[in-house]
Amino acid sequence: MKIAWFTPLSEKSAIGRASTYIVRELAKSADVELWHFEKGPLHSVADAKIVYAPSADLARLAGFDLVVYNFGNHLPFHGEIFDVSRQHPGIVVLHDFVMHHFFAALYLESRRDPGAYLAEMEYRYGVAGRAAGERSLQGSPVWETDEVVDFPLVERCTEGALGVIAHSEYLLEAVRLHYSGPTRKINLPYELPGDRAAAGRSSLGVPGDQLMLLTIGHVNANKRVHATLEALPDGMHLVVAGPTDPNYKKRLDEIVASRKLGSRVHFLGRVSDEVLHTCLDAADVCVNLRWPAIEGASASVIEEMLYSKPVIVSDVGFYKELPVDCVIKIHPAREHAELTSALQRLKDVVVRRGLGDAARVYAESTFRADAYAKDLTRFGWEVRHAQPLVNLTDRIAGELGRMKVSGKMVIVDMVAATVAELFCEPGSGRTKSA
């Protein structure tokens, strides 16, 4: 099989890092080319041909068995990948449920076309979508509120895709509400670097006799760091490793000042891989809360589990799917009480060790690049076999649309049943073998 794999490759991209693991495994049984658009410091890949997409002949994509596009909610990393996917349909790998930030940046900053943004919102979500778009243009961006989950714009990413891969059942269910083509849930792979050296807890300013809580990654309101600060008990330090949204940082600073936590809270900002390893090695507990859940999976949680850390997560989205013996889950509606209780419980070293060990075992066996490559290859062949049926249903849908047939009309169910009878194996949902 010949595969073109489109991904960010910047060292700052966790998606790019995961892609290096997947491509390494795919290359063991397939001819793989990794296509990227960045020029800056890149992840190293020694197992596949690396193609700098802007200087490549895109017409060559017609010669691949599979073209795979990785989509995340960050325009600088995924904008050009999205553009190519519009010209050469392929399999879409969705890394985020909420893609609103991506399309807001595309329409409002890159294309400077607010009319197109409003039209997209109205087309996807009707009157409510247009109203939310207009509020955004008037200075109250919906993407900065919890309401954004009602307007994810993820539908635009899957439009025209030959197949869709998600990394959680949560995201897969959301995709199936608007996408009728082949879908597959495959667990996101993650690995720890082999040459890790930690500088020690003292380098972070945390005393050796105090418990250290850690949160990592980009810090914004849905990461719930404010909730951790409000629940932080005596005898614990909180280290926050990752760039923080400036407006959110003001809110966090106010909590730190009001609770007099200055000596027990450490904002490190963006850190190097070496400092991040020091943080993860030194941490007693990791806190990885989310509300609302806008991601398809969480590389940071997987990484923390691989480090044998007990992790506190929100009981939503991808995190809800983690086993209860591997993490402590906090319901968003009872966040303060349950987080306070969890932190007290995790003062017990036996509890911490038990959760951390179970987390590592689960993560090592579940989030594997070799399993990902095998599942993706199988799914790729299924997508190729299903393509004639997908083309037919797209054509039928187009004709019904031109006839002004709505989705509620009886004829739609009749046509769907006829197509299923002709092309699908009874009760399987799979296309019949040739």
- Which pLDDT score, from 0 to 100, does residue 433 have? 47
Instruction: For residue 223, give both structure tokens.
Output: 């990461």
The rounded distance, in Å, linking the Cα atoms of 125 and 130 is 7
| Surface-to-core class of residue 333, CB atoms within 10 Å of its CB (0-12 exposed, 13-18 middle, 19+ buried) | exposed
The domain of 70 spans 2-185
How many domains, the chain?
Answer: 2
Same domain, 180 and 227: no
Q: Are 180 and 163 in contact (CB under 8 A)?
A: no
Do residue 239 and residue 293 come from a single domain?
A: yes
Q: What distance in Å separates the CA atoms of residue 333 and residue 42, rounded to the nearest whole number?
A: 41
Q: Residue 228 is part of a domain; what is its CATH number?
A: 3.40.50.2000
Looking at the fold, whether 137 and 257 belong to one and the same domain comes out as no
Is 114 found in the same domain as 243? Answer: no
Show pLDDT as tens, one digit a residue, over the chain (434 residues).
999 999 999 999 999 999 999 999 999 999 999 999 999 899 999 888 999 999 999 999 999 999 999 999 999 999 999 999 999 999 999 999 999 999 999 999 999 999 999 999 999 999 999 999 999 999 999 999 999 999 999 999 999 999 999 999 999 999 999 998 999 999 999 999 877 677 888 899 999 889 999 999 999 999 999 999 999 999 999 999 999 999 999 999 999 999 999 999 999 999 998 999 999 999 999 999 999 999 999 999 999 999 999 999 999 999 999 999 999 999 999 999 999 999 999 999 999 999 999 999 999 999 999 999 999 999 999 998 877 666 666 667 667 667 777 666 777 677 767 766 666 655 544 555 44
Q: What is the pTM of this model?
A: 0.89
Contact 219, 243 (CB under 8 A): yes
Residue 240 sits in the same domain as residue 113 = no
Locate 346 and state its tokens.
Answer: 């995790």
Residue 375: inside a domain: no
Query: Could you tell me which of 44, 112, 106, 107 has the C-alpha nearest to residue 81?
Result: 106
Structure tokens at 173: 């269910």
Contacts of 334 (CB under 8 A, 6+ apart): none
